[in-house]
Amino acid sequence: MAARRPSTAVFLVGFMGAGKTSVGQSLAQRLNWSFEDLDDRIVRVSGRTVAEIFRDSGELAFRQAERTALEQVLQELQTGAVRIVALGGGAFAQAQNHQSIQASGIPTVFLDASLAELWRRCVQQSDTKRPLQTSQDTFRDIYSYRLRYYQTASLRMDTTEQNVEAIAAEIAETLGLRKMPRKKTTQRIE
């Protein structure tokens, strides 16, 4: 049997407040990989914040921008980019996105926590990029709907009362992710 090539990309999925960005940054640093937050690409390309897109164009427009951004990222990963990618909470729960990600064979990690903990973190962060964080009831309903998608991830990690570095270490170990050699910087002679 041919040996499987080690992964060079990982998607972090899960609900708002799951810690996708902080765990992603820590994991990328540990492996010397690059890190990308998909929402940052959407903001860069559109020249508007997530909140502005939702407010001025609606959720559907945001989902279209998200889909385009994801397709671009998938192409880059398929042509060799070595990267940890944190997806916005809704990205993996869109049927088309879910299908493209699963078809790519790139491992996905579902970062999870109790609803109370996810809500607490979101309130604490009071991040303006979360227009869907309205009431606790809506928060719970959206989470319940998305769970069926999140649960198809290659790995689930409970982040409740865990520190970011420990979670990153466990993901690297479980998925057998390889550290990249640091790029040599050429020293200039003054």
Look up residue 28 and give its two tokens. Answer: 């990328």
Which residue among 16, 65, 70, 84 contacts ligand S3P (CB under 6 A)? 16
Considering the complex, what minimum distance in angstroms separates the CB of residue 132 from ligand S3P?
5
Asked if 87 and 63 touch (Cβ cutoff 8 Å), the reply is no
Which residue among 132, 155, 164, 175 contacts ligand S3P (CB under 6 A)? 132
Considering the complex, what minimum distance in angstroms separates the CB of residue 110 from ligand S3P?
12
Q: Toward ligand S3P, which CB reaches closer, 88 or 107? A: 88
Q: Toward ligand S3P, which CB reaches closer, 53 or 171? A: 53
Q: Toward ligand S3P, which CB reaches closer, 89 or 107? A: 89
Task: With contacts defined by CB under 6 A, name the span among 1-9, 24-32, 130-138, 168-176 that binds ligand S3P.
Answer: 130-138
Q: Does 115 bind ligand S3P (CB under 6 A)?
A: no
Distance separating alpha carbons of residues 115 and 47, to the nearest angstrom: 32
Q: Toward ligand S3P, which CB reaches closer, 127 or 170? A: 127
**C-alpha dist (Å) from residue 15 to 38, 76, 101, 125, 137:** 14, 25, 17, 14, 15
14: three-class secondary structure by DSSP: coil
Q: Does 24 bind ligand S3P (CB under 6 A)?
A: no
Distance separating alpha carbons of residues 159 and 162, to the nearest angstrom: 5
At position 26, the amino acid (one-letter code) is S
Strand arrangement of the beta sheet that strand 83-86 belongs to: 34-37, 83-86, 9-13, 108-112, 155-158
- Site residues for ligand S3P, window 68-97 (CB under 6 A)? 88-90
Q: Toward ligand S3P, which CB reaches closer, 57 or 131? A: 131
Q: Find all residues with CB under 8 Å of 152, minimum gap 6, and list them.
A: 98, 102, 108
Judged by the rule CB under 6 A, the positions of this chain that interact with ligand S3P are: 16, 20, 39, 50, 88-90, 129-132
